[in-house]
Structure 1
Amino acid sequence: MKIYYLVAILFLFSAFAKAQDSTTVEVPRIYAKAFQGESTYIEGATVRLVKVLEDSRCPKGVDCIWAGNAKVAVEIISESGKKVTKEITLGGGPVAPIYLQDDLKVLIKGLAPYPSSLSKIKASDYYLQVEVSN
């Protein structure tokens, strides 16, 4: 009977053991908000939401046939002075990096705030959710 208890205790401790992996490398990521019309400096680049061109996302509290999307104009200026302006459509799928130069990767993770059937969004309230990594 004691052997069963011993085996159960060893099994219990082994279930909580974690393997040590020394090959994992953490890539630093920075998350920020880039408000419409304002320049936001983020680790090696300046990101600016130039304009929300379209916002047809289905508002909270409404049943829609189509989820909709948002189209924005974004400007990125690297530390080396390279300027890129792109129109990006944010919809249901993942967004590809919009900037991949100077060992810098800029991704747009979303547009906020999300529309609601109860209120209208002012242009100055819009911001991009940005992720930057190198």
Structure 2
Amino acid sequence: MKEKTLLLFVIILLVNCSSQKSAAKTSAASEKSSMENKNIIYFKEGENKFLKEYQMNVTFKRISEDSRCPQGTQCIWSGVAVADVELMSTTSRPVMVRFSTQEVSGKDFHKSHYFNGYKISLIELTPHPTEKSNAKSLPGQYTIGISITKDLELRDSTTTR
């Protein structure tokens, strides 16, 4: 009897895991299609661009943390990656901000920051760690995609969300 109960429990866990993966794929696909409608600006690690339209200089300095669960593995927590980006307008000094792949209030990690009348959001961070290429082997290979939109509420240039 105990063996049947244990077998039933394992089957329920596997079905639940499979449905979670399916839901995650569906959510990722819908998120990706909504992202395609945004104007995304890409930066390679170490790259600096002056964005004339926004009168802003953006430099993707580095990835300071990448604890994301490697693709092809199962983890208890999906993890987070943090990109250090320097922002500077034509009328301000440089400001270092940390964009995160997830909102983590306990660590003060945010996907978006407000700067110089704009909301700047991290949309994409690649590559994702895998079983073969973990985060330690990726420095210098990262690329981020950000979107910049006018901040209609005109928050302070140092606020996050």
2:113 matches 1:98: yes
Per the alignment, residue 115 of structure 1 pairs with: 129
Unaligned runs of 5+ in 2: 1-37, 151-161
Residue 34 of structure 1: CA displacement?
1.6
Q: What's the secondary structure of 2:87's corresponding residue? A: strand
Q: Among 37, 49, 52, which residue is 1:40 paired with?
A: 49
Q: What's the secondary structure of 1:62's corresponding residue? A: coil
Per the alignment, residue 143 of structure 2 pairs with: 127
Higher helix share: 2
Unaligned runs of 5+ in 1: 1-28
Distance in 1 separating the partners of 2:50 and 2:149: 13
Q: Among 56, 65, 68, which residue is 1:57 paired with?
A: 68
Per the alignment, residue 85 of structure 1 pairs with: 96
State the 4+ residue runs in structure 1 displaced beyond 6 angstroms.
none
**Percent sequence identity over matched residues?**
26
Q: CA distance change for structure 1 residues 33 and 83 in 2, over 3 Å: closer, same or farther? A: same
TM-score, L = length of structure 2: 0.56
Q: CA distance change for structure 1 residues 63 and 74 in 2, over 3 Å: closer, same or farther? A: same
Do the aligned residues in 1 keep the contact of 2:122 with 2:145 (CA within 8 Å)? yes
Paired residues in the alignment total: 106
Select the structure of larger CA radius of gyration. 1
Per the alignment, residue 15 of structure 1 pairs with: none
